């Protein structure tokens, strides 16, 4: 059981690192927008539309 747990943890760490690299790549190209999803659905929708220029 211990071996499979450590393998699972390793996979999660690799996936997290990969995601960070992908996000960093697109962030450097100016293609990432940070939105505050804790706002109301209406406010989040307005932010998304603004970012997408809809």
- The DSSP output letter for 2 is H
pTM of the model: 0.58
Confidence bin at 53 (pLDDT 50/70/90): confident
- Encoding tokens for residue 34? 């940070």
- The closest alpha carbon to 34, from 19, 42, 26, 54, belongs to 26
pLDDT at 50: 92
2 pLDDT more than 60: no
Q: SS3 letters for 6-25?
A: HHHHHHHHHHHHHHHHHHHH
Domain parsing of the chain, residue ranges: 2-52
Return the C-alpha torsion angle 4, 7, 13, 15, nearest 10.
Answer: -100
- Encoding tokens for residue 8? 């699972």
Give the pLDDT confidence of 14-24 residue by residue, as tens digits. Answer: 999 999 999 99
């Amino acid at each position: 059981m211990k071996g499979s747990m450590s393998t699972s943890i390793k996979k999660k760490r690799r996936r997290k690192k990969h995601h960070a690299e992908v996000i960093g790549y697109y962030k450097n190209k100016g293609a990432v927008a940070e939105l505050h999803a804790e706002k109301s659905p209406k406010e989040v929708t307005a932010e998304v539309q603004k970012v997408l220029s809809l």
